[in-house]
Amino acid sequence: MSNSSTIYEIGRAITTDYGANMGLRSLLLKCIVISVVGVITVLLVAHDDRSAHADVLIDRPAADVWKVISNSAAYPDWNPFITRVDGDFREGATIRIVLGTGSDSMVFKPTVLLVRPEQDLCWRGSVWIRGVFDGTHCIHLTTVTGGTHLEQTESFSGLLVGRLTKDVIEETQRNFQAMNVAVKQRAELKTP
């Protein structure tokens, strides 16, 4: 066998082997793409933006209620839901929030979006990465006859929101109600 035919045979074997590997790689890539598209489709079909809401009437002026909700350092003293806040409520600031206690606690690092004294306090945080499961939490104060109407809302968005997170949203609503009762008790204990 001549050198040129040997080189030809080796080249042909390499090309055939390379072609077979490329076909396998192409097939694997197509399978991965189809799987990812399928998962995203399922998540989008199950996706449904949801929100939690709770409100309470507090027999104190908005200034007194604001002192309670804006004092992040005092949250461990009274708040059964948000048991710790590290950082100050300043627009643009990243704060650290601990929900619950012990092994069941969760830590979030949301960004403060809005601070309007005696009116609004809002922040937005995410679980894992933004767009997967996000929440925008707002506390709104409205002056009404005889006191202050406090309303807490959390708007959930992201791929995992909807039927997949119904229990989380219901639990959040219960926790908002407990927190509202605690804000009311603390604000109403203050003397005018």
* CATH code of the domain covering residue 126: 3.30.530.20
* pLDDT attached to residue 186: 97
Burial (Cβ within 10 Å: 0-12, 13-18, ≥19) of residue 180? buried
Q: Which domain, by its residues, includes 78?
A: 48-189
Same domain assignment for residues 39 and 60:
no
Q: Which residue has the tokens 């007194």?
A: 64
Same domain assignment for residues 25 and 70:
no
Q: Number of structural domains, the chain?
A: 2
Q: Is the dihedral of CA 74, 75, 77, 79 positive or negative?
A: positive
159, amino acid identity: L
Q: pLDDT 10s per residue in the chain (192 long)?
A: 566 666 556 556 555 555 556 677 777 777 677 766 555 555 554 445 588 999 999 999 999 999 999 999 999 999 999 999 999 999 999 999 999 888 888 999 999 999 999 999 999 998 888 888 899 999 999 999 999 999 999 998 888 777 667 788 889 899 999 999 999 999 999 655
CA–CA distance, 178 with 83 (Å, rounded to integer): 12
Same domain assignment for residues 19 and 69:
no
Same domain assignment for residues 65 and 28:
no
* pLDDT attached to residue 45: 47
Same domain assignment for residues 72 and 23:
no
Instruction: Give the number of other Cβ atoms within 10 Å of residue 113's Cβ.
Output: 15
* pLDDT attached to residue 116: 98
Q: Is 191 helix (H, G, I), strand (E, B) or coil?
A: coil
Same domain assignment for residues 63 and 16:
no
The CA angle 4-7-13, to the nearest 5 degrees, is 140
Same domain assignment for residues 42 and 116:
no
Same domain assignment for residues 108 and 172:
yes
* pLDDT attached to residue 48: 55
Same domain assignment for residues 38 and 54:
no
Cα Rg, the chain, nearest whole Å: 28
Same domain assignment for residues 37 and 106:
no
Same domain assignment for residues 28 and 115:
no
Same domain assignment for residues 66 and 133:
yes
